[in-house]
Amino acid sequence: MTNVILLGPPGAGKGTQAKRLVQERGMTQLSTGDMLREARSSGSEMGLKVAAVMDAGGLVTDEIVIGLIREKLESGESAGYIFDGFPRTLAQADALGSLLAQMGQKLDAVIEMQVDDAVLVRRISGRYTCGSCGAVYHDETHPTKVAGTCDYCGSTNLVRRADDNEESLRYRLTEYYKKTSPLIGYYHATGDLRRVDALASVDAVAAAISAALEQG
Ligand code: AP5
């Protein structure tokens, strides 16, 4: 079993690569962003509470996101988890370590996806996803083969995120550098950190992640 964290700023390609690992290795993607968006669209009390924070690009409280991850880890079995967008604070990293230890598991690798801020605006402003299966597309670099229809599930429900605008992205980046980037040092110290050039093509990034996972 391999448990891996994909760590990087908004638009680094965490979701894109998580889906590759699901397809290629049968691992389970745990994206706190997706879980929070699901809670919003279900209209739950928690979903309504986090909506404004998410749209502005701020971080939802540690208590809420740790609760979401705990629920998923306690309710299922997996060939390995891909933590996508979690942890994002030192408190979340500590909580994840404890949760895995309670399950008799450990973290195998933390992949830092390195990009330049300059490419992120372009990636984020062109992004759209399939509202049915979650496939990720881009207007210029990865459009659907048939306009308006998902390549994977045939759905015509293609959506753009409310926080994918320049103002929100700027704040998401500030939050990333202030609260999440200290995790790079944290996981360097534990010996789990692996660095990948996430400016390369999707296939090249996937190959680099595979190589990093084989490295153990
Ligand atoms: P979340 O959903 O996690 O968003 P994010 O971290 O901002 O990351 P993104 O989903 O924007 O980017 P990504 O790295 O997955 O890139 P993608 O693969 O889509 O979080 C949203 C919000 O929820 C947060 O702001 C916060 O409010 C809240 N939240 C979530 N988790 C939380 C937590 N743990 N604690 C507190 N709050 C939390 O790719 C982007 C685009 O680029 C796509 O169009 C794709 O096609 C393209 N692309 C990808 N790779 C490449 C490549 N190699 N070359 C060219 N184009 C590429």
Query: Does 95 have pLDDT greater than 80?
Result: yes
Q: Annotated catalytic residue: which of 19, 37, 123, 172?
A: 172
Does the annotation mark 127 as catalytic?
yes
Residue 33's nearest CA partner among 172, 145, 150, 139 is: 172
Instruction: Judge whether residue 77 has pLDDT over 90.
Output: no
Tell which residue, 165, 142, 146, 204, has the closest CA to residue 57.
165
pLDDT band at 166; cut points 50, 70, 90: confident
Q: DSSP labels for 81-106?
A: EEEES---SHHHHHHHHHHHHHTT--
Is residue 88 flagged as an active site residue? Answer: yes
Residue (of 5, 7, 4, 46) closest to 198 by Cα position: 7
Q: For 103-126, write each residue's pLDDT tens digit.
A: 999 999 999 999 999 899 999 989
* % residues pLDDT > 70 (the chain): 100
Task: Check whether 216 has a pLDDT greater than 80.
Answer: no
Given pLDDT bands bounded at 50, 70 and 90, which one contains residue 32? very high
Retrieve residue 215's tokens: 């490295």
Residue 79: predicted pLDDT: 85
Evaluate if residue 142 carries a pLDDT over 70: yes
d(CA 100, CA 17): 22
Q: Would you call 161 a catalytic residue per the annotation?
A: yes
| Strand 81-84 with 4-7, pairing | parallel
Using the mean position of ligand 1's atoms as its centre, give its distance from the Cα of residue 12 in Å: 7
Q: Name the DSSP letter for residue 143.
A: -
Instruction: Check 20, 37, 88, 123 and give the catalytic one.
Output: 88
Cα angle vertex 168, ends 161, 196, to 5°? 80
What pLDDT score does 78 carry? 85
Predicted model pTM: 0.95
R_g (Cα) of the chain, nearest Å: 17
Residue type for position 143 = P
The C-alpha atoms of residue 208 and residue 197 are separated, in whole angstroms, by 8
Calculate how far, in angstroms, residue 123's C-alpha sits from the geometric centre of ligand 1. Answer: 10
Atom of ligand 1 nearest to the CA of 202: 53
Q: How many CB atoms lie within 10 A of CB 173?
A: 18
Burial of 16 (0-12, 13-18, 19+ CB in 10 A): buried
